Structure 1
Amino acid sequence: MQRLFVGLELPRSVAEQLGRVRVEYPTARWHPVQALHLTLCFIGEVNAQTANAMAGALHDLPDPELKLTIRGVGYFGTPERPRVLWAGVTAEAALMQLQEEVEQRLVPVGLVPDTRAYRPHITLARVRQGGEPLRAFLEGHADLALPPFAVDHLSLYVSRGGEGGVRYEVIERFSWLKR
C-alpha cells in the first residue's frame, strides 16, 4: 500500500523564500524546504494497481496557463491548538479548475473525494499548541507576498513515514498537454 497525493512542486527559489518564514516556535515541526508543495488532491492509501490507474488518469491534462501567487500566512485548528501553519495561495480560477479536473479524473479509479471545500495552501509546519508563538508567527508574516510564478506540470507523490519524519517523493510528473 502507498499513501498518495497529487500536488504542484514549487520552484526552488520560492521554496527557499518560504523557508525564511520559520520562527522560533517550540512545538513546531517545520517541513524541510525541499518538501514544500501545494496539494491539489489527497488520495490516501492505495494498492499498486490503483496507483497505476490514478497515474494513467492524470496524463494529457490541458494546459491551465497557471500562475500561483503566495499571500499571507495562517493556520488550521484553534488559536490554542493550531494543527498546521501555512502560507496562503490565491484561489484563482485556473487553480480551482485544475483541482476540480484532477479530482474528477481520479474518482472513477478509486478516489473518495474530500467533502470539505478546497483551500489552497502550502503547509509550512505541524504544531501542537498556540499562544504567543502563533501570534508572533501570524503578525511577523502577515504581509508575506511572493511574486507570481508559472507552473508547467503537476506531480503524483508518495508520502513515506520514517524516523526523521514524513518524506514526500515524486512518483511521476505530468506536463500539460499544449493546446
Structure 2
Amino acid sequence: MRVFLGIELPDEVKRSLLSLPRESIEARWQTAEQLHLTLNFIGELDEAMVATLRERLQSPPLEPVSLRLKGVDVFGSAEHPKALWVRVEPAALLQHWHHTLRDRLEAVGLEQDERDFQPHVTLARFGRKAVSVKEFLKANEEYISPNFTVDQLCLFESHLSDKGARYEVIERFPVGTL
C-alpha cells in the first residue's frame, strides 16, 4: 500500500479552489476528489506495518488548528512550473504537526524525508512542456479560502494510474486523540 498522512479539505474550500480560473493554463488540474493537504508522505507499506502505524497514531494529542488557504505559488518557476499550489496558514502550526508526526513515524522505523516542509494544497501539475503561469499567479495572489477547522487527521492510500492519482481515506484519527 502506498500511504501518506494528510488533511481532507471541506467541500466549501474545494469549491473555492475549483472556482479559480483554469482555462488559460494547460496542466493536469486536480479534481475535487484529489484536493487535500499532505502532512507526511510515508510510501509503500505492507498490512502489518499499516497496523503498527495505526497504533502509533493513537497517542498523545496534537493541538486542533484553524486554517485557511491564502495566495498561490509555484514549484519550479513561473515560466517552467512543476506544480501550482496554494499556501496554507498558519504554516507554523502545520510544521509542528509535520515534525511531531515525523517523530512518530521514525519511532516505528519509517524513514522520513528531511527536506523543509511547505504546507500547501496542489492545484495543478505540469509536464515538461514550458507553460507560463505568471498571469495566473498575479491574478490570484490575493486568493483567500474560507477558514476551516481541522478536527481529524487522515491516513490516505494513494492509487496511481495514467489518469492521475486517486486518494482513499483508510483511517481517520480525531485530532483530540492524536
TM-score by length of structure 1 reads 0.90
CA contact (8 A) 2:91 2:118 kept: no
Shift of residue 59, structure 1, vs aligned partner: 1.5
Shift of residue 113, structure 1, vs aligned partner: 1.4
CA contact (8 A) 1:3 1:160 kept: yes
Residue 99 of structure 1 corresponds to which residue in structure 2?
A: 98
Residue 42 of structure 2 corresponds to which residue in structure 1?
A: 43
Letter in 2 for 1:79: A
Structure 2 distance, partners of 1:127, 1:142, is: 20
Shift of residue 33, structure 1, vs aligned partner: 1.1
Residue 166 of structure 1 corresponds to which residue in structure 2?
A: 165
Residue 127 of structure 1 corresponds to which residue in structure 2?
A: 126
For structure 1, the residue ranges without an aligned partner over 5 or more in a row are none
Give the aligned length.
Answer: 177
Measured against aligned partners, the alpha-carbon deviations of 1:58-77 in whole angstroms (never above 9, x if no partner) come to 12441412011211001111
Name the SS of the counterpart of 2:58 in structure 1: coil
Shift of residue 3, structure 1, vs aligned partner: 1.0
Name the SS of the counterpart of 2:95 in structure 1: helix
Measured against aligned partners, the alpha-carbon deviations of 1:96-153 in whole angstroms (never above 9, x if no partner) come to 2211111111112232111211100001111124443x11211121110123211100
Equivalences for 1:143-162 in 2 at 5 Å?
Answer: 143-162=142-161
Residue 108 of structure 1 corresponds to which residue in structure 2?
A: 107
Shift of residue 163, structure 1, vs aligned partner: 4.3
Letter in 1 for 2:111: V
Structure 2 distance, partners of 1:76, 1:61, is: 34
Measured against aligned partners, the alpha-carbon deviations of 1:7-63 in whole angstroms (never above 9, x if no partner) come to 011111111111111412453101111221111001111222222211221124414
Deviates more, 1:16-25 or 1:41-50: 16-25
CA contact (8 A) 1:71 1:143 kept: yes
Equivalences for 1:46-85 in 2 at 5 Å?
Answer: 46-85=45-84
For structure 2, the residue ranges without an aligned partner over 5 or more in a row are none
Shift of residue 80, structure 1, vs aligned partner: 3.3
Letter in 1 for 2:159: R
Match status 1:29 vs 2:28: yes
Structure 1 distance, partners of 2:90, 2:118, is: 8
Structure 1 residues 103 and 63, CA gap change in structure 2 (3 angstroms): closer
Structure 1 residues 35 and 137, CA gap change in structure 2 (3 angstroms): same
Structure 1 distance, partners of 2:25, 2:93, is: 37
TM-score by length of structure 2 reads 0.90
Name the SS of the counterpart of 2:33 in structure 1: helix
